Chains A and B, each alone.
Chain A
């Protein structure tokens, strides 16, 4: 494809030349699918759009030509602005519009009747578009689709939904060409497979990755603490760095940590450097304000979370600080890329371990970055809950034939191996609920007509299905507002469970300020600024990342070294002491320590399987220990070990670690587990069993809705083979339960289990005692706790002696 003069002139007028990868994209404009991997700031977006601009410059015509999909609404709007400028300057007759959840209804309607040349949107908005009956008309001239930040979508159900929507579009426009734009990833071919129509080929273009990043561990005056994630010890050193740079992004792994750190930073910020905070639980207005201040260059630092992993290019960021071990090298590299978006400047980054063990983790991560050894867990086949929703979306668009839809779905990479039986189960679920008891024949959601086509029984249900499109998990959150003050300024959101734990007078951190809980009004948490107590910390949801397999292996390799000149002496001495009194965990073996401490027996299992798997292991092992008569009382899990305490010493590890017993334990334990119920809720919502939004709900009181746990319990009791329970199990096993990593660990170590019986607690185990998130082993304990508390409350209130509250005899 030749560059038209107007475009060429535009580049030369600015003294710019076209990047090699932009030219390469142009040369492949007719390929069915192309994946471009380029660092941020490499002119990636232009590379994606250049073929569109050239085509429309050469052959101007009406109709939707190119669809751009990004994971962020803000990105869609930002790209529109960035694209409109060159298009206007070159003088191209191209209309560019975005369409997201924020677009007005009238504009959306007009876009369907008279689409722009380039439409910028999100996976959810696209899924909604393909659900309309007029989708074929809207997309009839579509030539190209560009998926931006595809690496961020590839790991999530949003990506699966997007690819199913693209399969739909490809049926409507068989000549559709796909382009994916990605940051550096571990396995580009996996993303290419996801992007391309199966079995189309997909060429992968690698842009020049630019100079290697300048990345180090931050030297702090004080050594990091033994446990915890606050990194308060690093505050002075971090402030020094902020002072020495133009703009610093300070990344955290969780929102709660970001809040605490921001709070401490602010207390130490005596000279009043402008520093902001940004995370997903803050009010949108507040986030927008921080982003705008950042773009104007008014902030010296932003304390943030994954909410700034993607998005708007901020050229002025010259330092990225990662607080806490990065857990995952790929994400670390992408975060580092947020600094120095100019093409040929190295990104500068500092790692701040929050505790002693994280010093080792950070060193392992540094080595992995230097070795370009990115990690990634291969993703399993396309999830069925997303498929169930897709079937409903297809039905909204019009009657379909099951064979056709199946053929279409299996062109999406993630679903290429989908079994027809599985598909039929999903179709049956969407149509009838798929229950063993066929009760709904009259009210089926989808019905099969005499010509074999499936359609909605009641066309009006399309509205409800459309209202619930999307795969983003919706945890129950409550808005936080200042009480009446200035019209009740919204501050952000907290989890419902956290709000329920508050009593008036309690204080917590949100948006960097300490607020005082006053009460709950109309499902809004009302707070004031009258904070006089040490804050409780808002427990934000937000993912707790588990350390990747690759990173864990690197840590074990570090342990195997003779000595540790690369580590600060406080950490090296600690490891040396552990080696002297016990031993260090090794690759290919499983170290278990057993020792008495503080009047109880302890067992520490160094599985290095990641937080979720170690947590699961804790639940399974305590159950085994219960059976073995070891009377476990509780446990705590981190990314590398599980520490269990109880009454009897563990003297033989073999019966504990028996794989078949562990697997059996998993089956019975999973059934009643809270993780399963949470997973069920998420999947059942995606699959359309539970509606997040209904036309009338929202404002009505809460007694109308009932917990999804009831649905889960009911299915377990009456329909244990139901599709939703299968899906839940699969999802839990690869998600929070992460049993695959336990299996992997068991395979890795085989019978090489080393049980060391020691006289006292070991250096490596000691920090675990300080960890938060201890899990008590329960059974009848819940009723006992309640009885205790009941008696206390009644006595305290004096009500226990009132007539009418005492049990009457012989009732």
Chain B
């Protein structure tokens, strides 16, 4: 990975592995050349519309893939794990435009690509890559939803965000949550909201000494607000 002194990442050790939280919301494992992203929600605007909701700007898939391409270019990852809810639902996956499908295929070329199943996409999709419910790699286990007793667990699902009250203003950003047992990734997809780290669901599952890594142009590590 290039540009090692940048502010837009935070490197840390977790379950004996050296990992890097990127400002984009992706998790980078240099030793395995593995990039992990969660909750892409590709096809969200299409699904909202199909179900009779508002006609959202249909640029979310394009935007999410643009950012993912940039991360992949930057890291030159050999392996990619999408941690579930990669598609807003299975029909949305199938309804992706030809352009977007080819784009994903180009990203997959020459890489080992894993789709972990999420609650939005609980089955295989007609796209390349392996489809797994979870994946163990060395001391780490990758699954969509965090489980209470796990160790070395990397998950997504909650779309965590955290707020920092500075003297100027209050700033809220999507955030990684991190403690000695688990990492919860922020949502990577463009049309995704966030769940405050204060929420009981997150406060319950994270240890008292958990951190939040706020994403953005520069990443910031703070004790997890709760």
- Contact residues of A with B, CB < 8 Å? 429, 432-433, 435, 437, 439-440, 442-443, 445, 458, 460-461, 464, 500-501, 520, 688-691, 694, 701-707, 710-711, 714-715, 717-719, 722, 776, 778, 781-783, 785-790, 793-794, 797, 799, 802-808, 810-811
A714 engages B166 (CB within 8 Å): no
Tell me the B158-172 residues at the A interface (CB within 8 Å): 158-159, 163-171
A785-B57 CB under 8 A given contacts A790-B220, A799-B209, A808-B18: no
Tell me the B47-95 residues at the A interface (CB within 8 Å): 49-50, 52-60, 62-63
9 closest pairs, A vs B, by CB? A433-B55, A706-B193, A439-B58, A811-B11, A703-B195, A718-B59, A785-B166, A461-B52, A443-B49
A811 engages B190 (CB within 8 Å): no
Give the complex CA separation of A435 and B222 in angstroms: 41
A787 engages B55 (CB within 8 Å): no
From A689, A717, A722, A794, B223 is in contact (CB under 8 Å) with A794
B170 engages A437 (CB within 8 Å): no
Residues of A contacting B56 in the complex (Cβ-Cβ under 8 angstroms): 433, 689, 711
How far is the CB of B213 from the nearest CB of chain A, in Å?
10
How far is the CB of A282 from the nearest CB of chain B, in Å?
26
A786 engages B214 (CB within 8 Å): yes
From A460, A702, A719, A805, B221 is in contact (CB under 8 Å) with A805
B11 engages A807 (CB within 8 Å): yes
Tell me which of B55, B163, B187, B190 has the highest count of chain A C-beta atoms within 10 A of its own C-beta: B55
Residues of A contacting B123 in the complex (Cβ-Cβ under 8 angstroms): none
What would be 28 A-B contacts, judged by CB atoms less than 8 Å apart? A433-B55, A433-B58, A439-B45, A501-B165, A501-B170, A690-B54, A702-B196, A703-B159, A706-B194, A707-B193, A711-B57, A711-B191, A714-B60, A719-B59, A785-B167, A785-B169, A786-B171, A786-B214, A786-B218, A786-B220, A790-B164, A790-B221, A793-B223, A794-B223, A804-B13, A807-B12, A810-B4, A811-B4
Tell me which of B166, B180, B199 has the highest count of chain A C-beta atoms within 10 A of its own C-beta: B166
A787-B11 CB under 8 A given contacts A433-B57, A706-B193, A707-B193: no
Residues of A contacting B11 in the complex (Cβ-Cβ under 8 angstroms): 807-808, 811
* B182 close to A (CB within 8 Å): no
- Supply 20 further A-B pairs (C-beta < 8 A) apart from A433-B56, A704-B193: A433-B49, A435-B58, A439-B45, A442-B50, A458-B52, A694-B53, A702-B194, A703-B192, A714-B57, A715-B59, A718-B62, A783-B217, A783-B218, A786-B166, A790-B221, A799-B223, A804-B13, A805-B221, A807-B11, A808-B12
A706 engages B192 (CB within 8 Å): yes
Residues of B contacting A701 in the complex (Cβ-Cβ under 8 angstroms): 195, 199, 201
Residues of A contacting B10 in the complex (Cβ-Cβ under 8 angstroms): 807
The total of chain B residues at the interface (CB under 8 A) is 61
Tell me the B14-32 residues at the A interface (CB within 8 Å): 14, 18, 20, 28, 30
B63 engages A443 (CB within 8 Å): no
Name which residue of chain A comes closest to B44, CB basis: A706
Residues of A contacting B221 in the complex (Cβ-Cβ under 8 angstroms): 790, 794, 805
Give the complex CA separation of A781 and B57 in angstroms: 31
* B46 close to A (CB within 8 Å): yes
* B115 close to A (CB within 8 Å): no
B59 engages A811 (CB within 8 Å): no
Name which residue of chain A comes closest to B12, CB basis: A804
Residues of B contacting A445 in the complex (Cβ-Cβ under 8 angstroms): 49, 55
From B12, B28, B57, B194, A715 is in contact (CB under 8 Å) with B57
B97 engages A439 (CB within 8 Å): yes
How far is the CB of B140 from the nearest CB of chain A, in Å?
15
Give the complex CA separation of A607 and B107 in angstroms: 56
Give the complex CA separation of A79 and B194 in angstroms: 46
Name which residue of chain B comes closest to A793, CB basis: B222
Give the complex CA separation of A520 and B225 in angstroms: 14
* B198 close to A (CB within 8 Å): yes
B55 engages A432 (CB within 8 Å): yes
From B28, B58, B201, B222, A790 is in contact (CB under 8 Å) with B222
Residues of B contacting A706 in the complex (Cβ-Cβ under 8 angstroms): 191-194
* B211 close to A (CB within 8 Å): yes
Name which residue of chain B comes closest to A519, CB basis: B198
* B143 close to A (CB within 8 Å): no
